[in-house]
């Protein structure tokens, strides 16, 4: 019995995703647990495994396809020797254009369905045709032809002119059976579309607006779309308050050097950011009201100290989580962060490794950024922006001395964290950063 393989929901909020890559092809025998494909979600690229055994009878969605809806059929699994059913080859989403026969301009993508004939039941669509003037057929007609994707594909392969095929589907829509009937009867001769489409080069006339080599369009990937949506919502809906403090990190740098010297044999290398993570974890334990989240009905005080750490990837910003950071030493934090960051860049994080978290750290010091203010990652209450350490002249006991200073800015949700609460947290953090031995207590 044939089984439809559906687009999985890889997270509670996922509604669509990109089918990034197929690991199987039509005709391949598969077993339960075998990797079928890779799905790109709003945070990572994840592998999808087979649940049943069988043969890949038909791949319905090509790799690289964007915005594939959750639960949409992406392939058909059949038993060995079983014929592939034809009906599932036309996915349910194909019926979406039917409710909109009077507004073809709102969905311009199916251009291959336009011709000089078209279905008589949709004359109202004719006035909307001018946005696609690339099909000037004799008589001035430019009516749109409504046909299922499968019918279009069969017609194209057989060289059948859909303008000469009568549709039996809803609203005169041409379906597979109509094309096959026309092919059997020989009533629809190959369409002279190639010659009619000769004026197609017309769009090249508009190209000088974007000189070659200077401008190009890059489609948004799913991660970039989600980042844009969430950050816009965060800035519009969350009342941000910003608090900035300068920390002397000479003692922290000395402690880091000593730790790395001890851990050289075990190949553990601790970064400044690893120590900042540990310091924040200790400070959050002392100030649980900062380790919080906002909902429409409650303020949630998190029971564990889970810190999200921003990692830049070529697909966007990902925030893997160091769980129970207050209970871990800097060596373990360093080891975990190295692994999490590497897999984040490769798009191989598991859901539980980037979903959740109670506090975020974004460090741009490695880029030489002196200070900046980050956007809160909802529903979290705060995010700490860490700048670069730099030598500055400061006054200590009436004397000018040189110290290594690192500026940090706390962006806080003012609905949860009052200014005084945020200031107290930063002062506690100052104690851990400027006296790193305190993190051992």
Contacts of 328 (CB under 8 A, 6+ apart): 278, 281, 322, 336
Q: Is residue 234 part of a domain?
A: yes
Same domain, 384 and 248: yes
Same domain, 120 and 240: no
Q: Is residue 209 part of a domain?
A: no
Same domain, 262 and 409: yes
| Encoded tokens for 191 | 């369409």
Same domain, 292 and 380: yes
Same domain, 334 and 316: yes
Same domain, 424 and 350: yes
Q: Is residue 77 part of a domain?
A: yes
State the CATH number of the domain containing residue 236: 3.30.559.10
Same domain, 48 and 185: no
Q: What is the pLDDT along the chain (441 residues), one digit of tens a residue?
A: 788 999 998 777 778 888 999 999 999 999 988 999 999 876 677 888 888 899 999 999 999 898 899 999 999 999 888 888 874 444 444 444 444 444 443 333 333 333 333 444 444 443 444 443 333 333 344 456 777 777 787 888 788 888 888 877 766 778 778 888 888 777 655 555 444 444 555 555 555 565 567 788 888 877 788 888 889 999 999 999 999 999 999 999 999 999 999 878 878 899 999 999 999 999 999 999 999 999 889 999 999 999 999 999 888 889 999 999 999 999 999 999 999 999 999 888 888 899 899 999 999 999 999 999 999 999 999 999 999 999 999 999 999 999 999 999 999 999 999 999 999 999 999 999 999 999 988
Residues pairing with 394 in the sheet? 401
Same domain, 229 and 335: yes
Task: Locate all alpha helices (DSSP H) within 1-117, ordered by sequence.
Answer: none
Angle at 33 between CA 32 and CA 36, to 5 degrees: 95
Residues tagged active-site: 414
Contacts of 62 (CB under 8 A, 6+ apart): 19
Which among 89, 106, 126 is the end of a domain?
89
Please give the backbone phi and psi of residue 140, each rounded to the nearest 5 degrees, phi first. 80, 0
Please answer whether residues 84 and 57 qualify as being in contact, where contact means their C-beta atoms are separated by less than 8 angstroms.
yes
- This model's pTM is above 0.75: no
State the CATH number of the domain containing residue 7: 2.40.50.100
Q: Is residue 207 part of a domain?
A: no
Segments forming the whole domain that contains residue 233:
223-440
Q: Is residue 215 part of a domain?
A: no
- Work out how many domains the chain is built from and give that number: 3
| Encoded tokens for 320 | 């893997």
Same domain, 230 and 360: yes
For β-strands 3-6 and 73-78, DSSP reports them as: antiparallel
Q: Is residue 210 part of a domain?
A: no
Same domain, 378 and 237: yes
């Amino acid at each position: 019995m044939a089984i439809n393989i559906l687009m999985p929901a890889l997270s509670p909020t996922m509604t669509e995703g990109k089918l990034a890559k197929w690991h199987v092809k039509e005709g391949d025998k598969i077993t339960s647990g075998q990797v079928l494909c890779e799905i790109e979600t709003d945070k990572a690229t994840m592998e999808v495994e087979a649940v049943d055994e069988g043969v890949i009878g038909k791949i319905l969605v090509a790799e690289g396809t964007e915005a594939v809806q959750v639960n949409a059929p992406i392939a058909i699994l059949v038993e060995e020797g079983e014929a592939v059913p034809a009906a599932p080859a036309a996915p349910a989403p194909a019926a979406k254009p039917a409710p909109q026969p009077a507004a073809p301009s709102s969905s311009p993508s199916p251009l291959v369905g336009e011709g000089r004939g078209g279905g008589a039941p949709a004359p109202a669509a004719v006035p909307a045709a001018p946005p696609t003037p690339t099909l000037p057929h004799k008589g001035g007609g430019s009516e749109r032809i409504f046909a299922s994707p499968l019918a279009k594909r069969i017609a194209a392969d057989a060289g059948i002119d859909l303008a000469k095929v009568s549709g039996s589907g809803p609203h005169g829509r041409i379906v597979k059976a109509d094309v096959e009937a026309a092919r059997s009867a020989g009533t629809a001769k190959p369409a002279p579309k190639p010659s009619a489409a000769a004026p197609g080069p017309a769009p090249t006339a508009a190209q000088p607006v974007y000189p070659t080599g200077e401008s190009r369009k890059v489609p948004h990937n799913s991660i970039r779309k989600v980042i844009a949506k969430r950050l816009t919502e965060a800035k519009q809906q969350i009342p941000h308050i910003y608090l900035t403090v300068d920390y002397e990190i000479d003692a922290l740098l000395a402690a880091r050097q000593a730790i790395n010297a001890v851990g050289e044999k075990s190949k553990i290398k601790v970064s400044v950011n690893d120590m900042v993570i540990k310091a924040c974890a200790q400070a959050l334990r002392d100030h649980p009201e900062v380790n919080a989240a906002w909902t429409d009905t409650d303020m949630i005080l998190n029971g564990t100290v889970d810190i999200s750490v921003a990692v830049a990837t070529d697909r966007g910003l990902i925030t893997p989580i160091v769980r129970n950071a207050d209970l871990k030493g800097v060596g373990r934090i360093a080891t975990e962060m190295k692994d999490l960051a590497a897999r984040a860049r490769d798009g191989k994080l598991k859901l539980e490794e980037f979903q959740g978290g109670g506090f975020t750290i974004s460090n741009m010091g490695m880029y030489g950024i002196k200070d900046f203010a980050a956007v809160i990652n909802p529903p979290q209450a705060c995010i700490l922006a860490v700048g670069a350490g730099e030598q500055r002249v400061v006054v200590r006991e009436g004397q000018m001395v040189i110290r290594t200073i690192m500026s940090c800015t706390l962006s806080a949700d003012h609905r949860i964290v009052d200014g005084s609460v945020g200031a107290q947290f930063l002062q506690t953090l100052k104690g851990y950063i400027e006296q790193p031995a305190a993190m051992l207590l």
